[in-house]
Amino acid sequence: MPPKSREKAEKPEKKVAKGRKAKDTDGGGRGDTRAEDQVAEELHDLEDRARKAFLGYARTDLFKRNITFGKYNVRLLNHSHRRRLYESFKSGGLQRFSVNNAIPLIIRSDDVVSTSVCTLDSQTVAKRDGSHLPWLELKGEMLAGDKYGTEIVAAGGRHRRSALDEWFNDRKRGVAIVEKEMKDLQAQSKSDAESVSVEELRIAAERIVQANRVVEMGGSWIVEVYDADLVDTKLGLHLSSNQRLYVYAETAEEGVIQTFKTLIASKQDWKNIPVVTGLRSTSQRYRINSLLTQDYVWRLFLSLLGMSSTHYIHSDIFKISSLTTNLMSPHGGMLAAATIFLEDRLRMCFNAIPWDAKKVSQMMDIVEDFALAKDEDDEIKAANVYLYRCVKRLANATPVMDAIQDEIRDTIEAIYQENFGEHEKWKYFGTGDTVWKTRYNKYVKEVLEELEGIVAENLGREEHREALDDVKMAWKDCVSKASLVLKIKGAPDHGEFMPFMSVSVWKDMNEQLKRVPRALTEVRRCVD
């Protein structure tokens, strides 16, 4: 499926009817090609809506809040950026109550205790000591242990929250160190009073008090509260944009997805994206626009916007240069379709539909040696019909994306690399060749064994005991479902000897599909 041409896309406009074009920026992920006055008008409208939705500033303990990140953006936790924030905390201080560092929370106004938010303007709040801000309170909420149960959506702040956690743990270790130093001084003073002065003991005691004072503040941080009833997807995306000091800088790859989500919120699709004019064909914005004008790219991105499949966004395959090269190539449509297909195979294994694992296993045992049996064997026919129906049920089930953890995806990727990572093994990808089938059977065995271990550990972990019932159900039967999906042969529209989706699978499929256009060219030469 070759990409659709965009005529005259590289030629600059001779005239501009209204306003000047906003400058293209190669450094970020989201340049804009609309007239500047149109962009300014939209931003003004969004800021006006944000002011109307704004309920006020408050303090809250981020460690005690059940905060959900990622609804309005897809920024996964990037450890290098988190570390950078952590280092800035150590060198420049937390500035936890600075208005510029406020984390936006989206909460229904009816759920917020009105006296628990400060409605003063940002300039007034900035002039005061932020520690005097009221503590955020929600109606009817109670502490369950050391945490509030109410789930709150944040439109940003994931990296601030994680860096604060690292900084806090570092401070707690610091408290333990100074307390040990104090005990050592006291012990030394008892054995040899003259070797330790009163001043040394006083300084040590003061250090302990100061260290404990910092730790007692816990996860206190300034937040800005917005009315959830007035925040739609488009405004949420605007609030989640990175424009402040302690934020994670958006990468070009995330910029593609944010642009994509903004277009969806604006009810646009690949058919009505404005044609890019006046841009270099090598610029980031031109590449992004070229991608988003392809229907198969939209289908791929819609698939990858699942809760756990953002796993790919920070991988090598999602680098803008390679992503555009691969998806805009003659085989780009096939690569996108194959990715969706293999991703769906993995998702088929994680759902909450009723499942008789014992019967499925029995039916699979019956058909395992089907090649040695006669076609008219009624028992084998009945078993195949049952299993095909099970596969169809899995294909139609709604996947529980929260159950597909990064740990599971990383394990599947590692097993694939171990079995198919040797030089040019991709040439056998998805074929019935003995080399591929032998490795594939070993791959299936190891995936099922590792998956069983991960699931058993998850169900036994203390932190997962409060997981949603559908997540637990998805974990409970996923090994049986994965066994069926990976092993069954002859199921309609299912495919055989095909692995689950992972980063290395994308790379191998890409190499395999590169051969298709070349093969077609050779056939055409022979025909001509």
For 150-173, write each residue's pLDDT tens digit. 889 998 888 888 888 888 888 888
Q: Is pLDDT above 80 for 340?
A: yes
Question: What pLDDT does residue 179 have?
Answer: 81
Give the number of C-alpha atoms closer than 13 A to the C-alpha of residue 81, restricted to the C-beta side: 17
- Of residues 190 and 135, more confidently modeled: 135
For 380-425, write each residue's pLDDT tens digit. 888 888 999 999 999 999 998 888 888 899 999 999 999 887 766 6
Most confidently predicted of 88-92, 215-219, 366-370, 374-378? 215-219
Q: Are 443 and 419 in contact (CB under 8 A)?
A: yes
- Of residues 110 and 210, more confidently modeled: 110
Question: What pLDDT does residue 43 have?
Answer: 76
Question: What pLDDT does residue 500 have?
Answer: 94
Question: What pLDDT does residue 224 have?
Answer: 92
Percent of the chain with pLDDT over 70: 78
Q: What is residue 507's three-state secondary structure?
A: helix
Would you state the structure tokens that stand for residue 239, as one six-digit string? Answer: 């609030």
Q: Is pLDDT above 90 for 194?
A: no
Q: Is pLDDT above 80 for 522?
A: no
Question: What pLDDT does residue 277 have?
Answer: 67
Would you state the structure tokens that stand for residue 287, as one six-digit string? Answer: 């590449």
Q: Are 367 and 380 in contact (CB under 8 A)?
A: yes
Question: What pLDDT does residue 243 have?
Answer: 47
Question: What pLDDT does residue 198 have?
Answer: 73
- Of residues 372 and 379, more confidently modeled: 379
Strand partners, 21: 35
Question: What pLDDT does residue 368 have?
Answer: 75
Percent of the chain with pLDDT over 90: 25
DSSP secondary structure of 355-423: --HHHHHHHHHHHTTGGGS-TT-HHHHHHHHHHHHHHHHHHHSPB-GGGS-HHHHHHHHHHHHHHH-ST
Question: What pLDDT does residue 397 have?
Answer: 94
Question: What pLDDT does residue 106 have?
Answer: 93
Question: What pLDDT does residue 7 have?
Answer: 41
Question: What pLDDT does residue 213 have?
Answer: 75
Q: Rounded mean pLDDT of 350-358?
A: 93
Q: Are 42 and 19 in contact (CB under 8 A)?
A: no
For 1-23, write each residue's pLDDT tens digit. 444 444 444 444 444 444 444 44
Please give the C-alpha separations between residue 451 and each of 397, 428, 483, in angstroms, as whole numbers: 20, 25, 10
Q: Is pLDDT above 80 for 279?
A: no
CA distance 311 to 289: 23
For 439-488, write each residue's pLDDT tens digit. 899 999 999 999 999 999 888 765 555 556 788 889 999 999 999 999 98
Most confidently predicted of 37-46, 73-82, 174-183? 174-183
Q: Can you give the length of the chain in residues?
A: 528
Q: Rounded mean pLDDT of 424-429?
A: 73
For 77-103, write each residue's pLDDT tens digit. 667 777 778 787 877 677 788 888 889
Mean pLDDT of the chain: 79
CA distance 64 to 148: 6
Strand pairing category for 54-61 and 147-148: unpaired
The helix, strand and coil proportions of the chain, stated in percent and rounded to the nearest 5, come to 60, 10, 35
Question: What pLDDT does residue 20 have?
Answer: 40
Contacts of 72 (CB under 8 A, 6+ apart): 153, 155, 156, 233, 236, 237, 239, 240, 261
- Of residues 242 and 129, more confidently modeled: 129
Question: What pLDDT does residue 517 have?
Answer: 75
Most confidently predicted of 160-164, 168-172, 497-501, 517-521? 497-501
Q: Is pLDDT above 60 for 249?
A: no
- Contacts for 52-56 with beta carbons within 8 Å, 24 or more apart? 52/230, 53/226, 53/227, 53/230, 53/231, 53/235, 54/224, 54/225, 54/226, 54/227, 55/107, 55/109, 55/112, 55/117, 55/119, 55/225, 55/226, 55/227, 56/117, 56/118, 56/119, 56/120, 56/224, 56/225
Q: Which residues of 317-342 are buried (b: 16+ CB within 10 A; e: fewer)?
A: bbebeebbebbbbbbbbbbbebbbeb
Q: Is pLDDT above 70 for 75?
A: no
Q: Are 430 and 381 in contact (CB under 8 A)?
A: no
Q: Is pLDDT above 60 for 306?
A: no
Contacts of 90 (CB under 8 A, 6+ apart): 167
Question: What pLDDT does residue 16 have?
Answer: 42
Band of the pLDDT at 33, cuts 50, 70, 90? very low
Please, where are the H alpha helices in 421-502? Answer: 434-460, 469-487
Question: What pLDDT does residue 86 have?
Answer: 79
Task: Give the least confident one: 16-30, 105-119, 167-181, 424-438.
Answer: 16-30
Angle, alpha carbons 304-309-313 (nearest 5°): 75
